[in-house]
Amino acid sequence: MSAHTADMLSLGQDRPHAYREAVEAYLRSAGIGESSQRIYRISLTTWAWLACGQQPPLGKDRRGAQAPVVRFAALADPATAEFLAAAFAERARLVDADTVNRELSVMKAAVDWWRTRGWLAANPIVGIERRPAPRDRAKTLSRDQLAALFDLKTGIREKTLWKMLYETCARAQEILTLDIADLLPADKRARIISEGGATDWVHWRSGTAQLLPRLLRGRTQGPVFLTDRKAPARTPTTDVCTITGRGRLSYRRAAELFETLTRPLAHPGIFDAAELELRGGWTLHRLRHSALTHEAENGTGTPPSGPWNATPAPASTPTT
């Protein structure tokens, strides 16, 4: 079904004949962002195989594979619900918990939307539950994984942010709200506002110290981490660099970039782009968690009241 046809499906129209048409109607009309539609489509297409009691191809075999044609009305059939439950259980055995849980969440959202429109009376995935992540799946990144991360070919902004997050053990939001005036490069530390609202100090090591001058490039005021584009006119002046006109990098964008760029590292045996997108990458929080774990292993844990804040604040005014 074309995108134009999907746009023409009005709220009052009878339900589509084919499952794929219902999928396209949902993607085009339910407020799903363009950047998310592809991953949603992959997840929902998986359920076409499951509805027939089959498993979708894995890895590179998935690319170009034609999903079974499923009548949308078949989702109301109790036998289809049984197929879905059994096939989902088998899929959960074949792929990781994050993948099947993402597919289940996407399908639940679509089913809710279809039911709201009156296209489904019953819930075909009722009783299907999320799969717990393996208990031995550590959040801590190994030192080899961190080395691979810091060797990635990416921009100076990402390199500096990731290195600073790891070396300071700070939360991402705390680092992203840093202004240049908060930095004391000579002391390798910066003033932050912690999660509880108190002023704390974070310290970094040589990795961040070497990258910061390249990131700032002579800037003496404004946010440390900037967006790639000019800030919208409505952006608060405190979040805009007066030299470049760019805005402060948001947590959402920083997390999105980190997740995207780390997908190959999170799944080193997978090379298919669609499969990597479906499985996802690492989260920014894992840098802090890994740093705290490694500090504990080294016997140099951080104070409980805040990251590296045991050193008193200097009396001098922060400078660049």
pLDDT in tens, 35-48: 577 778 888 999 99
Q: Are residues 281 and 201 in the same domain?
A: yes
Q: Are residues 111 and 160 in the same domain?
A: no
Residue 144 has a pLDDT of 94
In the three-class reduction of DSSP (H, G, I as helix; E, B as strand; rest coil), residue 22 is classed as helix
Q: Which CATH number does the domain housing residue 221 bear?
A: 1.10.443.10
Separation of alpha carbons 77 and 62, rounded Å: 27
Separation of alpha carbons 175 and 200, rounded Å: 12
Q: Are residues 171 and 32 in the same domain?
A: no
Residue 316 lies inside a defined structural domain of this protein: no
Q: Give every CB contact of residue 103 below 8 A, 6+ residues apart in sequence.
A: 43, 46, 47, 91
Q: Are residues 107 and 231 in the same domain?
A: no
Residue 158 lies inside a defined structural domain of this protein: yes
Secondary structure element (H or E) that encloses residue 21, with its range: helix 19-29
Residue 24 lies inside a defined structural domain of this protein: yes
Q: Are residues 172 and 87 in the same domain?
A: no
Q: Are residues 158 and 109 in the same domain?
A: no
Tell me the per-residue pLDDT of 206-225, one tens digit each, with 9 for 90 and over. Answer: 999 999 999 999 899 999 99
Q: Are residues 58 and 181 in the same domain?
A: no
Beta carbons of 103 and 42 less than 8 angstroms apart: no
Residue 173 has a pLDDT of 92
Residue 81 has a pLDDT of 92
Q: Are residues 110 and 200 in the same domain?
A: no
Residue 239 lies inside a defined structural domain of this protein: yes
Q: Are residues 206 and 253 in the same domain?
A: yes
Q: Are residues 164 and 275 in the same domain?
A: yes
Residue 309 lies inside a defined structural domain of this protein: no
Confidence of residue 179 (pLDDT cuts 50, 70, 90): very high
Q: Are residues 152 and 271 in the same domain?
A: yes
Tally the domains of the chain: 2
Confidence of residue 139 (pLDDT cuts 50, 70, 90): confident
Residue 315 lies inside a defined structural domain of this protein: no
Q: What is the pTM of this model?
A: 0.59
Tell me the per-residue pLDDT of 255-296, one tens digit each, with 9 for 90 and over. Answer: 999 999 999 999 998 887 777 877 789 999 899 989 888 887
Residue 125 lies inside a defined structural domain of this protein: no
Tell me the per-residue pLDDT of 12-42, one tens digit each, with 9 for 90 and over. Answer: 457 899 999 999 999 988 877 665 777 788 8
Range of the domain at 67: 3-116
Model confidence at 84: pLDDT above 60: yes
Residue 219 lies inside a defined structural domain of this protein: yes
In the three-class reduction of DSSP (H, G, I as helix; E, B as strand; rest coil), residue 184 is classed as strand
Mean pLDDT for the chain? 84
Q: Are residues 207 and 282 in the same domain?
A: yes
Beta carbons of 54 and 66 less than 8 angstroms apart: no
Share of the chain above pLDDT 90, in %: 58
